[in-house]
């Protein structure tokens, strides 16, 4: 039963991961430089600098995944405030927890997958915690 999926993702790996997510599971999306732990599935979408962008991928995943909370690096507040504003705009009222970037890198070990984009702006990384649609 695909209780987490909504509709629009056509990338087969991303769609598969979303369909297997349960309540409180996480998936990461991030910039081209984020180190991904060896045991974490990496879905590499990066084609070249900036393609696809972090925001393009985030918006696509949000169209399909029910998200109850997001995690962002504390450093995004000062090192990439424009990206933070863009994230806040697309997530609406979804709660944000800010964590140190080092902690986020460690938390990738517990995610279902990490989606690598072509983004090259600092701290453009997010963890999405799945909710339920009922």
CATH number at residue 102: 3.40.1650.10
Q: Which domain holds residue 97?
A: 12-130
- Which of 64, 61, 52, 46 is CA-nearest to residue 116? 46
Q: Give how far Cα 120 sits from Cα of 28, 31, 94, 132, Å.
A: 16, 6, 25, 32
pLDDT at 93 over 90: yes
109 annotated ligand-binding residue? no
Is 123 annotated in a binding site? The answer is: yes
Per the domain annotation, does 125 fall within a domain?
yes
Q: Is residue 2 part of a domain?
A: no
Look at residue 7 and tell me if it is in a domain.
Answer: no
Is 93 annotated among the ligand-binding residues? no
Number of domains in the chain: 1
Q: pTM for the whole thing?
A: 0.93
* Catalytic pick among 23, 33, 90, 103: 23
Residue 93 lies in a domain: yes
Average pLDDT over residues 60-87: 97
Annotated catalytic, 23? yes
For range 73-99, the mean pLDDT: 98
């Amino acid at each position: 039963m695909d209780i987490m999926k909504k509709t629009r993702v056509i990338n087969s790996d991303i769609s598969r991961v979303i369909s297997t997510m349960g309540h409180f599971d996480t998936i990461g999306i991030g910039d081209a430089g984020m180190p991904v732990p060896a045991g974490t599935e990496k879905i590499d979408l990066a084609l070249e600098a900036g393609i696809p962008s972090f925001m393009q991928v985030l918006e696509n995943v949000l169209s399909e995944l029910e998200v109850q909370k997001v995690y962002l690096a504390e450093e995004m507040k000062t090192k990439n405030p424009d990206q933070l504003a863009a994230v806040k705009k697309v997530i609406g009222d979804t709660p944000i927890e800010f964590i140190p970037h080092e902690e986020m890198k460690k938390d990738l070990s517990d995610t279902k997958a990490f989606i690598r984009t072509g983004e090259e702006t600092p701290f453009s990384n997010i963890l999405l915690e799945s909710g339920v649609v009922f």
